[in-house]
Structure formats: structure tokens, C-alpha cells
Amino acid sequence: MLILASQSPRRAELLRQIGVDFRVAPAHIDETPQPGEPPADYVARMAREKARATAVQHPGALVLGADTSVILDGHILGKPADREEGIAMLLALGGREHQVLTAVALAGPHEDQALSASRVRFRPVGREEAARYWATGEPADKAGGYAIQGLGAVFVEHIEGSYSGIMGLPLFETAQLLADAGLPRP
């Protein structure tokens, strides 16, 4: 049995989509980036620490952790702290390309890790539409302040990479890790 070290409904939905049997046991760790930590190292460390923290609570279980960050000009855009930060993120992303990094990690009897890097280009975003989007509640708990699988899709002009990775769990990389750990492919 696999344990998902995340309370994200999107990650659970994606795992179900590929027929994986799992249960949820969220990890609670400090998610503060270290000074000077490159974004790819940060997401990899977060995925690994989430998986390991949950594995300690469930000895012998195979645990999957994941972490997603939106990167703009080399800076990590996490979940917006409030309305103003959320609107500012959308305005900064508007008319530009950014990167979405999602790391997945296994802990327990088998440890392994993978990284998905995708590029997303937004159309220009106006302040009023950013405020309307914020008012829906959707962007409040999302890295970069948007959800590509929801209303935020209207801002996305182009993607290059993994759609499921942008959502928060790259299915290609996840399925490969699980197969390497001995779980049957769907």
C-alpha cells in the first residue's frame, strides 16, 4: 500500500486517475527555503522531507511526497499570503513565461526521486480580472496563485512540459518511480 504524504485533493485525484491504491497521511514540515537555495533543490528537498517525515510515522510503508513551485525570474512564488500578494503574483506572471517545478520522492523501503520542469506562458492579466479571480477563492492555496486545472486556465496561453506536473503531480515521473519500487503499472 502506498501512502500519499499530501493533503492536496489534486494530487489524490491524479493518483486515482492512474489507478494507484493509496491512503493519505499528510506531512507537516517547515517549508521555508534555505538562504540561497536554488528552486530545483528546494522542491526536491521539500518532496524528500515530506516523504521521509510521513515514512517515520508509518514504518515499512512506501510513501510518496511531492512539492510544486512556480518560478519567475529565478524566484520561488509560493502560495500567496493574502489578496494583495495573490493579485501581485498574477500581474507579475501576466504576459510572461514562468517555470513550474514539481519534485516527487519516495521514502520507506525504496527511496528515489524525480523532477518535472515545465514552462507556462500567461497572456497579459489586468488588475480587475486578477481581483475577480482572487475573489473566487481558487488561487488562495496554490503555488504562484493560480490553478491550471481550474479557472486559472484562462490565463494560460501556452505550456511546454507536463500538464499533470503543473497541477502538482507529474504522472509520467510518478508512475516510473512507483514501477521502479515494484508497484505494478496501471
Query: What are the residue numbers of the active site?
Result: 67
The single residue listed with the C-alpha cell 514504518 is: 59
Q: Do the Cβ atoms of 62 and 20 come closer than 8 Å?
A: no
Which long-range contacts does 162-167 make (Cβ < 8 Å, 24+ apart)? Answer: 162/102, 162/116, 162/118, 163/118, 164/14, 165/68, 165/100, 165/102, 165/116, 165/117, 165/118, 166/68, 166/100, 166/102, 166/118, 166/120, 167/10, 167/14
> What is the biggest distance separating any 2 CA atoms in the chain, rounded to whole angstroms?
51
Q: Rounded CA gap, 47 and 106, in Å?
A: 8
Name the nearest CA neighbour of 89 among 101, 75, 102, 106.
75
The single residue listed with the C-alpha cell 490553478 is: 147
